[in-house]
Amino acid sequence: MHRSSSVPSLNVNVEFIDNPVCWVFIVMLFLIQRVVLAGIGLSARTAWTIVNYTHGIISYVTFHFPTGDPFLGDNCRDHLTFWEQIDDQMQFTQARKFLTILPIVFFLIAVDAAEWEPKWFWSNFVICFIIVVAKLPFLHQVRIFGIGS
């Protein structure tokens, strides 16, 4: 597979994130969650808000808490979170852009389903804001309150 606009990763821990098939898989998981929530009778606004929060919590815990590389014992990545290891710390790669835009898309879908009502807007905005800000380059290797250290 030719990846001209992404950086090839030698880190087995995160190399799968660079594959667009992984991106489709992530989106499909949350769309399946949305269908299941609709199937149990939740309103669109509630279901999309749950999808937004589920994605936000899973994303935060998965990308911004674990540090190190379980596959290599050289300790060179022990201080880096999973997010920081993606594409060998290069910023603005396709994988990072996708993973940054996805919570914004879920936020927009959730607030649109809620017809932009303020209480739904702000409850969805909070999780989106936390997730997107955590992915921005100015927080690279920054540990707020020691989280992820």
With respect to residue 1, please indicate whether it lies within any of the assigned structural domains: no
Average pLDDT over the chain, rounded to whole?
84
Burial (Cβ within 10 Å: 0-12, 13-18, ≥19) of residue 112: middle
* Number of domains into which the chain is organized: 1
Q: Which domain holds residue 131?
A: 15-146
DSSP annotation string for 42-82: --HHHHHHHHHHHHHHHHHHHHHS-BS-SS--S-TTTTSBH
Q: Is the pTM of this model over 0.85?
A: no
With respect to residue 74, please indicate whether it lies within any of the assigned structural domains: yes
Q: What's the pLDDT tens digit per position in 51-94? A: 999 999 999 988 877 777 766 666 666 678 778 888 777 788 89
With respect to residue 47, please indicate whether it lies within any of the assigned structural domains: yes
Q: Tokens 């998965």, residue?
A: 62
Indicate the range of 4-8, 114-118, 134-138 predicted with least confidence: 4-8
